[in-house]
Amino acid sequence: MKKKMICRFLVVLAVFVSVQPTLFAVGKKDAARAANPPRTILIAAAASLEYAYVQALIPRFREKYPWITVEGTYDSSGKLQTQIEQGLEADVFMSAAVRQMDALADQGLVVKDSILPLLENKIVLIKPAGTSTAVSGFENAAQARVIALGDPASVPAGQYAREVFTSLGNWAAVEARASFGTNVTEVLNWVGEGSAEVGVVYATDAAVTNKVEIIAEAPAGSLSAPVIYPVGIVAASAHPEEARLFVDFLASEEGLAVFRSYGFSPNH
The domain spans of the chain are 37-120+228-266, 123-217
Average pLDDT over residues 32-42: 82
Strand partners for 75:
46
Q: Give me the pLDDT at residue 5, please.
A: 55
Q: Give me the pLDDT at residue 23, please.
A: 46
Q: Give me the pLDDT at residue 268, please.
A: 72
SS3 70: strand
SS3 144: coil
Fold matches, 37-120+228-266 and 123-217: yes
CA torsion angle 185 190 192 194 (round to 10) = 180
Mean pLDDT score across all residues of the chain: 91
Helix (H) / strand (E) containing 244? helix 240-251
Determine contact, residues 72/53, Cβ cutoff 8 Å. Answer: yes
Q: Give me the pLDDT at residue 79, please.
A: 97
Over residues 221-234, the pLDDT tens digits come to 999 999 999 999 99
* Residue 68 to residue 242: CA distance in whole angstroms: 7
**37-120+228-266 — its CATH code?**
3.40.190.10
- Print burial letters for 246-259: b (CB count within 10 Å at least 16), e (below 16): bbebbbeeebbebb
CATH class for the domain made up of 123-217: alpha beta
